[in-house]
Structure 1
Amino acid sequence: MDKIELLAPAGDLEKLKTAVDYGADAVYFGGELFSLRAGAGNLTIPQMEEGIAYAHARNVRCYLTLNIFAHNEDILPLEDYLIKIKALDIDAFIVSDPGIMLMIREVMPQAEIHLSTQANMTNYKTARFWQQQGVKRIVLARELTFEEIRLLRQKLPEEMELEAFVQGAMCISYSGRCLLSNFMIERDANRGQCAHPCRWKYALVEEQRPGEYYPVEEDERGTYILNSRDLCMIEHIPELVSAGVASAKIEGRMKSSFYVATIVGAYRKAIDAYYEDPQRYVFREEWMRELKKVSHREFTTGFYFNQPTNKDQNYQTSAYTREYSFIGVVRSYDPDTKMAVVEQRNKMTVGEEIEVFGPYTDYFSQKLEVLLDEEGNPIESAPHPQQILQIKMERPVSENFMLRKRKEQ
């Protein structure tokens, strides 16, 4: 049985390597231009070359997002960019705009094309059209239910793959149809510059009473009327597989390496456990608890089971839940001394309880008892960003293991 692909975001080179290390089957990333996440770190051409080599050495596929809706002024720069990246061993291009598809075909005739969710593909007739244009995979619009996905799978040739988002931020607008950001502050969501006005707090102002703000309320729940919860489908791996989804996609190129490691690690465990014995598969609550240790909003299953209701919105706040802090990443480990060299990411102090986790492992807890600076001198705390530390570990660790702690400490 071919496993469903676990597809992870790679906002920069570090996050790409983290996604690979923690179990992604494929990663998607943007270059410095023409991607819908202009605010992500993104990758230069040399970084793409390094990242692709790192991923391919570990049998992980690499997809480049070129999914803006181009304006005339984008055409010549994009043509130049395609020529510059032609030699890179990119496995597929994620594209929304038919014109960009045409340009890729002109420069790289054999390139594999995936249709971005921005194209808002919601029915099997449209899917057949895109197949006739040479598209290998369709990233489904988030507005499709399981019932619709199953029908799509039945109506399409076997070689046409379906990819679906399973984790991350949800947009209040229909896929590829948001104009709010462009209208309000002239930052075009369809060219990678979305300001996320759906997360802002709104009030009502009467024309003749400027400065008098009336709250937009719904049963005392607050005023964040456009603010969706985050998508989370980790409890529903069997349904995704049975619906015919070939690739489970995690949103989050703007998120941290800690986020990528945690989310990819949890989904990797859930997917592997399912395929070990599909008939006896049982979801483990610890996987959900892991997901909640990174910055997140309350979760929803989006459109998969039905049309979302008011229970899928958060009317009280647009803030994230942040119960844990990412405090460090292991750079090396000496099994003889049990000392790890750690790059600090947030303040840690001797005596605190910390959690340590890594790829394909369960986390463990320990008290931070031995903390040394880079020269080996004892210190009580590490407050400086990216400070190099030495920490005594109660269990063996490896490079790229991560450290976290509860915030109330």
Structure 2
Amino acid sequence: MKILAPLTSFEEGKALISEGAKELYCGLQPNYWDSVSGDRFWLNRRGPSQGNLPNLEELSKVVGLAHAHDVKVFLTLNQSVYSNSLYQEILKFVREVYAICSPDALIIGDPGLMKMMKEKMPEVTLHASSLGGILNTETAKFFRDLGAKRLIFPRYLDLEDMANIIQKIGSDVEYEAFVLNDGCIFEEAYCFANHAFSGAICHNPHWIYKLYDKNGQSRKEDNCSFSQHLMDYREFIYIGIKNMGESISPKGDPMGMCGLCALPELKAMGVCSLKIVGRESSLEKKAASVRLLRKSLASLEGEENPEILKLCFRMMRSIPKLCDSSYMCYYRD
């Protein structure tokens, strides 16, 4: 299984490759894009000033560096949907990219865009983004038939469902799964949370609530129960979504969502790529994530007992209570 890491600069690429990343993914929004869509619609799932390479020249340098080290680079065009009016502009952008350098694949979530790219540029390799919502076999078949050579499973997809999809779709395509950092309250392919007013409302549940029944009465036991539920929700956001303030553990490991305990199952079912999330994160956290995953994969090599491995991965960060809480686990039992 290969380590797939995010980057936003050539310098990050050098560091992450030296740490052991074998695949890189990145975004890019050209300067002229605002004149195409205004500032209302990003070219990918990260804003122009956050989580993107600065320009096409930087992408070309990253691709050159990566290919010199036998590392692949994937470019994100991973909005869930684009308006039809933007398709031709995106095609123009992609042709501009491939005239200068050759990313190894485009990551696409919009079926219409994938269909057009397959027709207009059949030589380009396509990956179906987690934003495509590949939650069952029929969706997997749909994207495979559209031309996707890799299916990226959404975060939190049950391991049994994942294995069932892989078994039925087979080895005609590759499979990628989330393994470290950045949770999401919803299944992001179907998220309709309002992201105005200082971020997504699902990230900021700081309002004070009080429950009343239909007669306007408020019972103490109901409010206590609800308050505890709300505290659990806030703790999940802090640990799994906010990554404990983007913190690094005393051992130097990244905090936040994790799927290390599922590595034996992911390997057995045929997942080929392990995704580290967080294009907008610091290089310190990205590098720490690659190191932790590389160390975990080294433990996996030659080991025959998945239960021993699960215990090993649970202890990897030396904070097992976080694993026990399940707040930071992508693949809860």
Contact 1:28 1:64 in 2 (8 A): yes
Q: What TM-score do the two structures reach when normalised by structure 1?
A: 0.62
| Residue 202 of structure 1, CA deviation | 2.5
Q: Residue 81 of structure 1 aligns with which residue?
A: 93
Question: What corresponds to 1:42 in structure 2?
Answer: 52
TM-score normalized by the length of structure 2: 0.75
CA contact (8 A) 1:19 1:261 kept: yes
SS of 2:280's partner is: coil
* Distance apart, 1:22 and its partner CA: 0.7
Give the structure 1 partner of residue 177 of structure 2. Answer: 164
- Residues 342-357 of structure 1 correspond to what in structure 2 (within 5 A)? none
Gaps of 5+ in 1: 188-194, 209-213, 307-409
CA deviation vs aligned residue, 1:269-320 (integer Å, no higher than 9, x gap): 2213322x2337865569833899xxxx985223x243xxxxxxxxxxxxxx
Deviation >6 Å, runs of 4+: none
Corresponding residue for residue 281 of structure 2: 255
Amino acid of the structure 2 residue aligned with 1:197: I
2:4 aligned counterpart, secondary structure: strand
Name the one with the larger helix percent: 2
SS of structure 2 residue aligned to 1:86 = helix
Equivalent residues in 2 for 1:208-223, closer than 5 Å: 217-218=227-228, 221=231
The structure in which a higher percent of residues are strand is 1
Deviation at 1:83, TM superposition (A): 2.2
> What are the residue-to-residue correspondences of 1:125-274 with 2, within 5 Å?
125-182=138-195, 184-185=196-197, 195-200=199-204, 201-204=206-209, 217-218=227-228, 221=231, 224=234, 227=237, 229=240, 230-274=256-300
Residues 78, 131 of structure 2: 8 Å contact kept: yes
Rg larger in structure: 1
Give the equivalent residue in structure 2 for 1:56: 67
Conserved in 2, the CA contact under 8 Å of 1:266 and 1:291?
A: no
Paired letter, 1:47: E
Q: One-letter code of the match for 1:31?
A: L
Give the whole-Å Cα distance in 1 for the aligned partners of 2:60 and 2:136. Answer: 36
Number of positions where the alignment pairs a residue of Structure 1 with one of Structure 2: 283
Once the two structures are TM-superposed, the CA of residue 239 in structure 1 deviates from its matched residue by 1.9
Q: What is the letter of the counterpart of residue 198 of structure 1?
A: C
Q: Which amino acid aligns with 2:207?
A: Y
Task: Provide the C-alpha distance between the structure 2 equivalents of 1:290 and 1:257, rounded to a whole number of angstroms.
Answer: 22
User: Offset at 1:23?
Assistant: 0.4
Q: Structure 2: which 5+ runs fail to align?
A: 30-41, 217-222, 241-255
Amino acid at match of 1:300: M
State the alpha-carbon separation in 2 of the partners of residues 220 and 259 from structure 1.
29
Aligned match for 2:132, one of 91, 114, 119: 119
Instruction: Give the Cα–Cα distance (whole angstroms) in 2 for the partners of residues 260 and 252 of structure 1.
Output: 8
How far is the alpha carbon of 1:266 from its aligned partner?
1.4
Q: Which amino acid aligns with 1:178?
A: C
- Contact 2:118/2:124 (8 A) holds in 1: yes
* Cα distance change of structure 1 residues 290 and 25 upon mapping to structure 2, 3 Å threshold: farther
* 1:217 counterpart SS class: helix
Contact 1:11/1:255 (<8 A) preserved: no
C-alpha distance in structure 1 between counterparts of 2:155 and 2:317, whole Å: 24
Q: Quick check: 1:15 aligned with 2:40?
A: no
